[in-house]
Chains A and B, each alone.
Chain A
């Protein structure tokens, strides 16, 4: 191909790609294509529309989900009020623009159910404990800037400063983490059932001691889960995956892969249910009433007793603003009927 013609061809082709070619340019381009048919292949390939990349769309959705959740965190941080008489509260009201979160993580890990509401002071090992008040959430900022929202009845333990190669915390209950990115110092969360190493960005772990299973849901990024009983079996989650482990098996030595199920969950539905508690809401997706009762107990401090085993299995889906347990039960019973009555300090469902 003649060198000048080649230069002209590329110039015209670029004009077409940039959307700035006028009729005369296009006509010239056509003429060159007829004159040099060997250019047609290139022309076709660079002018044809690019296919939609599903993976990238999915990634965008995940990123948005993490964004959305972070925004909720910030709103929660602003609305949070200091509990009465609590001088050691670590609630954070810092608004963070320009999020550089490496991990958004909701953790629920084996809860030690405590009636004691006092905050402990520093121990000799320089560990600081924050124990959440039974019925509400609290916001914490860790020494590296990581934001945490602790759910009712949860406990987070961490050092005053993160020294050393890793950033380590211990959690029982449920918490929502927004982990600051620092590839040099991996963020590690110890729970009663497993250790979570933060490789990526956003995820959610649920492991209450009085619940029969340990769950980790990945929203964005990458997470490596090591079950305490089984150090050889590391599970790496990809976004949209959720691992559920039944605890008895997790703690036994014979942990086989089949006892650990990885299942997909859709970002929007799953996300709403997983993190709605951070907005002070309770959400259930196809959850049996017995589990709901446990959440109500945790959230409102109301003991619920079942007189009917059948009713325990009734499943409900819904999102509720934090009001009180009776209100929620009333609404639930409208959907699928059951009776309940309040007696002294507990509710009986029958």
Chain B
């Protein structure tokens, strides 16, 4: 887990020195996080990868202006959200559904995330069934560890809304987990 100050250091190295190593570190750090997030919005693995590629490349292309970004974390998540929504608009306008996409494993299947841990699969499945916003909120706060403020900025919603979504998510998980315990 990269601390904020580490991110800042890398950020500046990329902005001012165009350091490829620093960029690579930021890339490898943010890619999985942004990918999970983008997947939650676009639901298609390939599309999500494009979104994240796009966002991370733009980060490099900012050049020295990257140094002026205050919270890279929030900045990237917001960018990912906007880009994902744009891509969604384009995809729907083209009505593209092809066999090619069918050969790519279903990104919403829990297997693609974690291997053998039964509980994680259980939780993951439950999360995937949550309403869209709920899912995004849960992922941002629980998985990415964003604060209320940060999550609020990324998703453009109020703290109250975030609380509500979390309540729904946690309640669902509680039900699922309790059912699991009873079965044991």
In contact, A53 and B32 (Cβ under 8 angstroms): yes
Contact A10-B170, Cβ < 8 Å, known A19-B147, A41-B178: yes
Which chain A residue shows the least CB distance to B29?
A60
**Contacting B141 at CB < 8 Å: which of A7, A18, A67, A98?**
A18
Question: How far, in angstroms, from A183 to B119 measured CA to CA in the complex?
Answer: 36
A178 to chain B, nearest CB (A): 12
Query: Cβ of B153 < 8 Å from any Cβ of A?
Result: no
**Which residues does chain A contribute within 8 Å of B53, judged by CB atoms?**
63, 66-67, 99-101
Q: Which of A23-31, A43-51, A79-87, A289-297 contacts B (4 or more CB under 8 A)?
A: A43-51
B61 to chain A, nearest CB (A): 5
Contact A41-B177, Cβ < 8 Å, known A10-B167, A14-B141, A60-B32: yes
CB 8 Å contact bits of B141-184 with A (1 = contact, 0 = none)? 11101111001000000000011001100110110011001000
Residue count of chain A within 8 Å CB distance of chain B: 47
In contact, B101 and A183 (Cβ under 8 angstroms): yes
**Which residues does chain A contribute within 8 Å of B103, judged by CB atoms?**
199, 222, 236
Residues in B81-108 with C-beta less than 8 Å from chain A:
94, 96, 98, 100-101, 103-104
Query: Cβ of A155 < 8 Å from any Cβ of B?
Result: no
In contact, B163 and A11 (Cβ under 8 angstroms): yes
In contact, A98 and B35 (Cβ under 8 angstroms): no
**Contacting A183 at CB < 8 Å: which of B98, B123, B141?**
B98
In contact, A42 and B117 (Cβ under 8 angstroms): no
In contact, A183 and B96 (Cβ under 8 angstroms): yes
B28 to chain A, nearest CB (A): 5
CB 8 Å contact bits of A1-44 with B (1 = contact, 0 = none)? 00000110011011001111000000000000000001101100
A9 to chain B, nearest CB (A): 8
**Which residues does chain A contribute within 8 Å of B173, judged by CB atoms?**
42, 45-46
Question: How far, in angstroms, from A318 to B146 measured CA to CA in the complex?
Answer: 45
Contact A50-B143, Cβ < 8 Å, known A45-B173, A57-B28: yes
17 sampled A-B residue pairs with Cβ under 8 A: A6-B171, A17-B145, A18-B141, A20-B148, A42-B177, A45-B173, A46-B142, A56-B32, A57-B32, A59-B32, A59-B49, A63-B56, A66-B53, A99-B54, A200-B104, A201-B49, A222-B103
Interface residues of A (CB under 8 A from B): 6-7, 10-11, 13-14, 17-20, 38-39, 41-42, 45-46, 50-51, 53, 55-57, 59-61, 63-64, 66-68, 71, 97-102, 181, 183-184, 186, 199-201, 221-222, 236
7 A-B pairs with the lowest CB-CB distances in the bound complex, closest first: A60-B31, A56-B32, A14-B166, A10-B167, A42-B174, A183-B98, A10-B170
